[in-house]
Amino acid sequence: MPPVNLRAATLGDRLEGEFLVQARADKTTRTGKGFAVLTLANATGTIDTAPLWEENLPWVEGIGRGAIVFAAGEVDRYQGAGEGSGKRQFKLMAPPRLLPRDQFHPEAFLPTIEVDPDRLWDKIDGFRAQITAAPLRAAVDLFFGDDDFRLRFQRTPGATNGHHAQVGGLLLHVWEVTRIAQAIAQTVRKANQELAIAGALLHDIGKVEAYAVTPEGFDFTPVGRLLGHVTLGALMFDRRLAEAGHPLGAAQRDELLHMILSHHGSLEFGSPVVPMTVEAEVVHWADEASAKATDMLDEFANPDLFPEGHAGELSAGRSWRLKRHLWQRPAAWS
């Protein structure tokens, strides 16, 4: 049976099914009354439960982050929200039933890209085939010619929370970045298209070691928290070059390392250096375009911003990811 579609659930819908408890928040009101809120997830999205007040706290005793539960209830709206706006919540009608976690695969409860990964790999390999400079192709193939790396890369999310936070999200994001970078490099005078493609393919390799898919959801690995994916990517690249007998010259190595290290564009956003070549600048803005456009698409599909029956052109509230209201065009162009 397919999972309950949490993203499409609207007010009054009755929901029941198996969910991952992605988070549990135990809180106290200003008057000292305790309550708990569970964040339930499956492959279609997430939803918070309505507050479980003191009299119902025994319902969730022993249920915490990472638990698998069977839950039933209906969708209503947070009481503090105004008419026709506000956040949906899942009002439990009975105690959730704790299920044996070892009977379930964590990825069955996590968001997954809708694009066939095999199609994306065909496109990635098509980009690799366009690289005719032997040292550049050798550098890219240190990773994308390695079957074990490809399996890990395909499973890795593009983020732990935010753009491309899905199983397969990194694969989708890197394809988007590479396609955008190629288009920019074809347009900009004197940009080296093959170098832009290689930099785009390599820019986020560090996420393979920085992020983990766990029974609780997407998270950072210990080394991911210590170093971050930008630094990890540079270290991974240098390590593979050494293992392969240094197939690049020193200047070639440094230029590709620079593209990995500078792809966030500025120090305050996590890059230890700013882009200093045309191709590094191209990769940075291609990365930004993929990330920001995906944030927009995700928020336009957010039922808390555009709930069922919402008649206005502007979103019902501000997007926390984008820090702005969104405008939904009232008329189609075709």
Mark out the alpha helices in the chain (DSSP H runs): 117-129, 134-144, 147-155, 169-187, 193-202, 207-210, 222-243, 250-261, 278-300
The per-residue pLDDT for range 303-314, each reduced to its tens digit, is: 888 887 788 899
The per-residue pLDDT for range 14-63, each reduced to its tens digit, is: 999 999 998 999 999 999 999 999 999 998 888 999 999 999 999 999 99
Which amino acid type is present at position 135? Answer: P
The per-residue pLDDT for range 235-252, each reduced to its tens digit, is: 999 999 999 998 899 999
- What confidence score (pLDDT) does residue 82 get? 46
Q: Which two tokens stand for residue 279?
A: 């191709």
Q: Which two tokens stand for residue 19?
A: 């969910």
- What confidence score (pLDDT) does residue 83 get? 45
Domain 111-296 has CATH 1.10.3210: yes
Question: Is residue 44 helix, strand or coil?
Answer: coil
- Distance between CA atoms of 211 and 219, rounded to whole angstroms? 6
- What confidence score (pLDDT) does residue 220 get? 96
Phi, psi of 315 (to 5 degrees): -60, 155
User: Which residue in this structure is represented by tokens 């959801």?
Assistant: 217
Q: Which two tokens stand for residue 233?
A: 């990517």
Question: Is residue 92 helix, strand or coil?
Answer: strand
Q: Domain segments of the chain: what residues?
A: 14-108, 111-296
10-residue averages of pLDDT along the chain (334 residues): 83 92 93 94 91 95 92 85 65 94 79 94 98 96 97 96 94 98 96 98 98 88 97 98 93 98 95 97 98 95 84 90 93 88
Spatial CB neighbours of 197, under 8 Å, sequence gap ≥ 6: 127, 130, 131, 178, 181, 182, 185
**CA 19-20-21 angle, 5° bins:** 115
8-state DSSP, 49: B
- Distance between CA atoms of 45 and 162, rounded to whole angstroms? 12
Phi, psi of 188 (to 5 degrees): -80, 135
Task: List the CATH code of the domain at 14-108.
Answer: 2.40.50.140
